[in-house]
Amino acid sequence: MSADQKDPRLAMLVESIVRLSRGELSSRIEPSTARDEVDAVITGVNLLAEELEQVYEQFEKRVESRTAMLRQAHLDMMKMAMSDALTGLANRVALMDAIEEALNQAANGALPPALLLLDLDSFKNVNDRFGHDAGDRVLQEVALRLNSVVRESDVVARLGGDEFAILLPAATMDIAMQVARRALEVLGQQVRLDSLYVHSRASIGVRLGTAEQTPEELLLDADTAMYAAKREGRSIIKVFEPVMLYSRQLRSQMATELRGAISADELVLHYQPVVELATNRILGVEVLVRWQHPLRGLIPPDTFIPLAEEIGVIHDLDRWVMSASLRQLARWRRDLDLDADFQLRVNLSAVELKQLDLVDHVRTLLRELELPAQNLVVEITETAIVTRGEVEMYSLLSLQQLGVGIEIDDFGTGYSSISYLRELPVSMVKVDRSLLVELDTRAGQLEFVAAILQLIRAAGLEAVFEGIETREQADQLRAMGCASGQGYYFSRPLPAEEAGALLASTRHLRVEEGIDDPEVAPLR
């Protein structure tokens, strides 16, 4: 080949290098038979291309496997973000997605979704009494049971705490009610925790959605129905009705107002005498709070104390009652020459007993007002101390050490166990008024009350009966040897001024005729 004639293999080489640089790594150049320097370069380029191709393949494989790992991690994260770690059920986010999807389907002509919201009735008790591990196991069991009453296409979710939801993506009210009833049934069976059996009953709210709703509206409606179920009683199913929204609004308005009630000075205290049955001597008074609402008038505590507990206002409320009533007691002691053993009885909620500084608060007030601790009795409901939490026991023991009397209120309505009463630092038991209601009319009730009285005495405690409304009841209790009591028969709870006037005028209540109409003043 002459020098001015170009070797065609050079052109092929250039072309091949261009292809390689374009990424066509499989491109090769056929060496010639000349086996000269150019062929050596061609072979070198081919080897490099081979090497490049292999490295690239390995690289691709690595990228592929890393991408798969990333994809899996993403899926896992999605799953974690969409499910509840404890039960493996869908979580709120996943539920809302599913509701949205079902509502979209309904907008395109499918049946509307039904949403069931479930709240366990006494889950807090399980946690308090048996610990959080036990609580977790109950929640897991509930998840299993709820899964057993639905189909694959339905969504069971845990919304947090002891609140669950079931979404039936395309449903009718009939189907929704069937599922709700089955859920109630499976949850009605006790859950076994080692040697213990506990209940996992629930209240259920049901709402059949409409295509026009947003997922949030559907959830709120179902929640409102569940709320109504809870308020009406335990273990029931309630179907959403628009009027429920109204009462809920009213309640939330009341909650807002209640938050301001203390500072607006709208709480008032009434005082109901507790008397010695043998002599009608006034032993003391129970403080009962009322809410003087600017528009709604005088609201009884049964209406707002549970609300106060729910919204966390009870702490301030109880502290206010304690301090205002002790101040009242100090004024009476100064002005009225009360008996030395006169007792002011103040109701304390379960929440208050859990406050570490409760004892300090009481001690400081007593010191400031120069009141003997013996003049104060705190009334605590059975349910508040049945769990015997450490702080509760600390509060009770410290109050007792201070000299404050401790009384179990509403005895006979809850866990009533004399053996546990014996172990608690309490000195008195107030028997709930429901035990007296049928005293005159129901055969056997008298014996029952007598037996309760004996049990309380056997535990070394004193019994006080509340809700005495008739002369017969007072006579019967006196005949049984019951020492003290309170009720409309002796006196209704009175505003401070009237209570003061009563205490100023007499030490002994003169009761003539018993009353059945509580609006009629029984005092002469």
Interface with ligand C2E (CB under 6 A): 272, 288-289, 300-302, 305, 318, 321, 347-349, 379, 409-410, 433, 466-469, 486-488, 493
Rule CB under 5 A: is residue 407 a binding residue for Mg ion?
no
Minimal distance, residue 407 CB to ligand C2E, in Å: 10
Q: Please state whether beta strands 237-239 and 267-276 pair in parallel, antiparallel, or not at all (unpaired).
A: unpaired
> Which of ligand C2E, Mg ion, none has residue 154 at its interface (CB below 5 to 8 Å by kind)?
none
> Which of ligand C2E, Mg ion, none has residue 288 at its interface (CB below 5 to 8 Å by kind)?
ligand C2E
260 near 317, Cβ under 8 Å?
Answer: no
Separation CA 466–CA 452 (nearest Å): 14
Tokens linked to 399: 């109050």
Separation CA 223–CA 214 (nearest Å): 14
Separation CA 59–CA 65 (nearest Å): 10
Separation CA 165–CA 150 (nearest Å): 12
441 closest CA partner among 412, 463, 470, 484: 470
Separation CA 90–CA 157 (nearest Å): 4
160 closest CA partner among 85, 78, 50, 80: 85
Which CB, 158 or 430, lies closer to ligand C2E? 430
Separation CA 150–CA 182 (nearest Å): 9
224 near 206, Cβ under 8 Å?
Answer: no
Minimal distance, residue 437 CB to ligand C2E, in Å: 8
Nearest residue to ligand C2E on Cβ basis: 487
Separation CA 249–CA 293 (nearest Å): 17
Q: Using CB under 5 A, pick the residue from 154, 392, 410, 469 that binds Mg ion.
A: 410
Q: Which residues contact 67 (CB under 8 A, 6 or more apart)?
A: none
Separation CA 456–CA 64 (nearest Å): 77
Which CB, 229 or 267, lies closer to ligand C2E? 267
Which CB, 203 or 347, lies closer to Mg ion? 347
Which CB, 200 or 486, lies closer to ligand C2E? 486
Please name every residue paired with 378 in a beta bridge, in sequence order, or none if there are none. Answer: 346, 406
Minimal distance, residue 385 CB to Mg ion, in Å: 14
Which CB, 117 or 305, lies closer to ligand C2E? 305
| DSSP H helix total and E strand total for the chain | 18, 17
Nearest residue to Mg ion on Cβ basis: 379
Tell me which stretch binds Mg ion (CB under 5 A): 159-167, 172-180, 275-283, 377-385.
377-385
Minimal distance, residue 362 CB to ligand C2E, in Å: 14
Which CB, 219 or 366, lies closer to ligand C2E? 366
Q: Using CB under 5 A, pick the residue from 121, 352, 392, 409 that binds Mg ion.
A: 409
Which CB, 88 or 414, lies closer to Mg ion? 414
Size of the site for Mg ion (CB under 5 A): 5
Rule CB under 5 A: is residue 382 a binding residue for Mg ion?
no
Tokens linked to 448: 């029952």
Minimal distance, residue 476 CB to ligand C2E, in Å: 15
Which CB, 349 or 375, lies closer to ligand C2E? 349
Tokens linked to 519: 């609006």
Minimal distance, residue 104 CB to Mg ion, in Å: 53
350 closest CA partner among 396, 397, 304, 286: 396
Minimal distance, residue 408 CB to Mg ion, in Å: 9
Minimal distance, residue 393 CB to Mg ion, in Å: 21
Please, which of residues 328-347 interact with Mg ion by CB under 5 A?
347
Name the site residues for Mg ion (rule: CB under 5 A): 347, 379, 409-410, 466
